[in-house]
């Protein structure tokens, strides 16, 4: 487990470096299209640096605001607080803050930069539709994400991948609406290749990276969560209920879908084997839990 935590910290740093490199590439393409590639390169690196700092410091608050979450009090839901406190004690980490989204679709996610600055967010539908042992299984799954430092990486991904996609949209707009200045012929052809790579391939690679890493973390959090509760069936039954629920989670989007315990975007649940899927197949997750 210690090695996993160290690996997650390294990946968080590498993620920032990779995003800065992608943004620098797009900045160079932007500048080259206007005749100033060096200026664009520097601007892209600066944007990447600012995005990395912001993602580390404020990504959790950005995610909570995007979800429309609010703090839940101990008097409002004592069972939820007692469950989180007991599981945090078992995991050997501080009890996280608890938030709730007033949405009838059952789901949950964890966010933050480390166990000392962590939040678990559940929807009203999760609290209302799950039995207590099932709810405990979901909270344990999210507690495992916190203990494993998944929350830092996945919260930063939500901000940084969004920054890459936003920059790519700006670059594509520049390509289509403003003519390039500079050399013609071969030089112009090389420039267009650079622009295509920067505007299309870079965000595509960023999304693929997010999806691939998220899938592996879900399997591990399932196993770690079952270890905390000593009752794998609780999470397995919860996954069945969440997946079977057909109510859409209104506040979810493709930028934050990878954070949730089950993909909140109903149209993507049937494409679990797709390269772009942020979650492994739920049937396989349930099978693994019930085989423990």
Q: Which of 28-37, 141-150, 231-240, 252-261 has the lowest mean pLDDT?
A: 28-37
Indicate whether 11 pLDDT > 80: no
Same domain, 77 and 130: yes
Mean pLDDT of 49-60: 70
Same domain, 137 and 165: no
Cα(244)–Cα(32) distance, rounded to whole angstroms? Answer: 50
Same domain, 144 and 31: no
Indicate whether 180 pLDDT > 90: no
Asked whether residue 169 is assigned to any structural domain, the reply reads yes
Asked whether residue 204 is assigned to any structural domain, the reply reads no
Asked whether residue 97 is assigned to any structural domain, the reply reads yes
Indicate whether 227 pLDDT > 80: yes
Same domain, 239 and 286: yes
Same domain, 116 and 239: yes
Structural domain range at position 173: 2-61+160-199
Asked whether residue 18 is assigned to any structural domain, the reply reads yes
3-state secondary structure 238-277: HHHHHHHCCCCCCCCCCCCHHHECCCCCHHHHCCCCCCCC
Closest CA to 29 of 17, 20, 16, 38: 38
Asked whether residue 206 is assigned to any structural domain, the reply reads no
Question: Which residue in 142, 233, 240, 250 is the catalytic one?
Answer: 142
Contact call for residues 64 and 116 (beta carbons, < 8 A) = no
Same domain, 100 and 147: yes
Asked whether residue 205 is assigned to any structural domain, the reply reads no
Asked whether residue 232 is assigned to any structural domain, the reply reads yes
Contact call for residues 80 and 87 (beta carbons, < 8 A) = no
Q: Which of 95-99, 204-208, 241-245 has the lowest mean pLDDT?
A: 204-208
Residue labelled with tokens 């090389």 = 190
Same domain, 166 and 229: no
Residue labelled with tokens 């800065």 = 20
Indicate whether 149 pLDDT > 60: yes
Query: At what angle are helices 132-147 and 232-244 packed, to 10 degrees?
Result: 100
Contact call for residues 251 and 66 (beta carbons, < 8 A) = yes
Cα(269)–Cα(12) distance, rounded to whole angstroms? Answer: 27
Asked whether residue 282 is assigned to any structural domain, the reply reads yes
Same domain, 221 and 144: yes
Cα(205)–Cα(92) distance, rounded to whole angstroms? Answer: 36
Residues 6 or more apart whose Cβ sits within 8 Å of residue 168: 26, 198, 199, 200, 202, 203
Same domain, 16 and 118: no
CATH number for the domain that contains residue 279: 3.30.2010.10
Q: State the chain's mean pLDDT as an integer.
A: 79
Instruction: Tell me the CB-side half-sphere exposure of residue 125, using CA atoms within 13 A.
Output: 18
- What φ, ψ does residue 143 adopt, rounded to 5°? -65, -35
142 assigned to active site: yes
Indicate whether 71 pLDDT > 50: yes
Query: At what angle are helices 232-244 and 282-290 packed, to 10 degrees?
Result: 160
Confidence of residue 116 (pLDDT cuts 50, 70, 90): very high
Question: Total domain count for the chain?
Answer: 2
Same domain, 90 and 110: yes
Q: pTM value? A: 0.75
Mean pLDDT of 171-191: 55
Indicate whether 212 pLDDT > 80: no
Same domain, 92 and 27: no
Residue labelled with tokens 């649940």 = 269
- What φ, ψ does residue 264 adopt, rounded to 5°? -80, -10
Same domain, 74 and 55: no
Mean pLDDT of 160-188: 61
Residue labelled with tokens 């990486």 = 153
Burial grade of 123 (CB within 10 A; 0-12, 13-18, 19 or more): buried
């Amino acid at each position: 487990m210690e090695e996993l935590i160290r690996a997650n910290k390294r990946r968080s740093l590498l993620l920032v470096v990779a995003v800065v490199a992608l943004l620098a590439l797009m900045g160079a393409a932007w500048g080259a299209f206007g005749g100033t590639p060096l200026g664009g390169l520097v601007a892209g690196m600066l944007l990447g640096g600012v995005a990395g700092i912001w993602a580390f410091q404020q990504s959790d608050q950005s995610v909570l605001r995007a979800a429309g979450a609010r703090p839940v009090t101990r008097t409002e839901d004592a069972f939820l607080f007692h469950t989180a406190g007991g599981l945090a004690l078992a995991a050997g980490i501080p009890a996280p803050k608890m938030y709730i989204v007033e949405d009838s679709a059952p789901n949950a996610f964890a966010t933050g930069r480390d166990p000392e600055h962590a939040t678990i967010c559940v929807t009203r539908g999760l609290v209302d539709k799950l039995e207590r042992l099932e709810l405990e299984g979901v909270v344990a799954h999210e507690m495992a994400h916190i203990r494993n430092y998944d929350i830092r990486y996945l919260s930063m991904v939500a901000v940084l991948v969004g920054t890459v996609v936003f920059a790519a949209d700006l670059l594509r707009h520049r390509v289509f609406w403003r003519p390039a200045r500079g050399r013609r012929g071969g030089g112009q052809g090389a420039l267009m290749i650079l622009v295509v790579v920067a505007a299309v391939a870079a965000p595509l690679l960023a999304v693929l990276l997010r999806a691939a890493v998220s899938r592996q973390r879900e399997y591990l959090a399932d196993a770690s969560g079952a270890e905390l509760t000593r009752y794998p069936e609780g999470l397995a039954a919860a996954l069945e209920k969440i997946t079977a629920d057909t109510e859409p989670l209104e506040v979810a989007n493709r930028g934050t879908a990878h954070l949730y315990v089950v993909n909140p975007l109903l149209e993507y649940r049937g494409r679990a084997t797709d390269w772009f899927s942020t979650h492994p197949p739920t049937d396989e997750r349930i099978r693994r839990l019930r085989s423990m």
